[in-house]
A = this chain, B = another copy of it.
Amino acid sequence: MKPRLLIADDHTLFNEGVKQLISDHYNIVGQVFDGKDVLIMAMVTRPDVILLDINLPSINGFDLAIELRKSFETIKIIFVSMYTEPRFIEQSKQLKVDGYLLKNSTKEELILGIDNVLNGGNYYDPKLNQLRPNLHHDDFFVKQFSLTPREVEIIRMIKNGMNTGEIAEKLFLGLETVKTHRKNIYYKLSITKSTELIKFALENNI
C-alpha cells in the first residue's frame, strides 16, 4: 500500500509536476492551490504526509503547520520552499515540522526526504546547512541591484516599520552606520525616500 500524500502549492505547474514525478511512489490523494483549502482537504483525504509550500495564498505555511498540528496528530508535514532563510528553518524546527525540502532539489532527494519522514525521521535538506546566512542565491532582485546581505537585512527591517534608530539598536550598530547603509541602498535602487523603498520591497518580495 503506497503512502498517502497531499500536495499544497499555489504554483499549479509545480504542484502538477511534482504529482507526475512521484505518483509512482506515492498515492497522491489530493492537491490544493490555496492555503484556505489545506485544512479541509487534510480532513477529507487523511494523508500520511503533506508537502506544504510556505508562500501560499490566504494562509501561509507556518500558520497552516500550527493548525495542522492541532487537528491532526499523525500527519507528517514537509515544507517545500525556494526560501533558504535561516529564520524560516528555525521557525520550521520550532514548529516541529518534519521536513524542509528546497524547490531546486532533484526527484531523488524529494523521495528520499519523504521516505525519511514517513519512517519517523526528520529531513532538512542538507544544502540548508551549507548556506551563508542572509545570502539569497536565487534572488534575482538582489543580484540585479547588487545589494549586499546587510543591505537586504536592513531593507527588510525598514519594510517592517522600523526606523533608523531601532534598526541600529537591534543590530548593535551605530546610528551613522545604519544611515550609511540607507544611503547606499537608496543610491543602488535610484530612489530618494523610504516610501519608495517600501514599494520596492513589497513589489519584489524582499
Is the pair B193, A57 in contact by a Cβ cutoff of 8 Å?
A: no
| A95 at the binding interface (Cβ < 8 Å) | no
How many residues of A are in contact with the other chain, CB < 8 A?
45
Contacts of A112 in B (CB 8 A): none
A171 to chain B, nearest CB (A): 18
Instruction: Give Cα distance in the complex from A193 to B159, angstroms.
Output: 11
A89 to chain B, nearest CB (A): 13
Contacts of A107 in B (CB 8 A): 12-13, 16
Is the pair B13, A21 in contact by a Cβ cutoff of 8 Å?
A: yes
| A144 at the binding interface (Cβ < 8 Å) | yes
Is the pair A163, B16 in contact by a Cβ cutoff of 8 Å?
A: no
Q: Residue on B with the closest CB to A10?
A: B104
A128 to chain B, nearest CB (A): 14
Is the pair A203, B85 in contact by a Cβ cutoff of 8 Å?
A: yes
| A20 at the binding interface (Cβ < 8 Å) | yes
| A138 at the binding interface (Cβ < 8 Å) | yes
A159-202 residues with Cβ-Cβ distance < 8 A to B are: 159, 161, 163, 193-199, 202
Instruction: Give Cα distance in the complex from A110 to B137, angstroms.
Output: 27
| Cβ contacts A1-32/B at 8 Å (1 or 0 each) | 00000000011111011111100000000000
A92-149 residues with Cβ-Cβ distance < 8 A to B are: 103-107, 110, 137-140, 143-144
A residues bordering B, Cβ < 8 Å?
10-14, 16-21, 33, 54-55, 57, 60, 80, 82, 85, 103-107, 110, 137-140, 143-144, 158-159, 161, 163, 193-199, 202-204
Q: Which 10 pairs, one residue from A and one from B, show the smallest C-beta to C-beta distance?
A: A17-B17, A20-B20, A55-B140, A198-B198, A11-B103, A11-B104, A14-B14, A12-B106, A202-B202, A195-B198
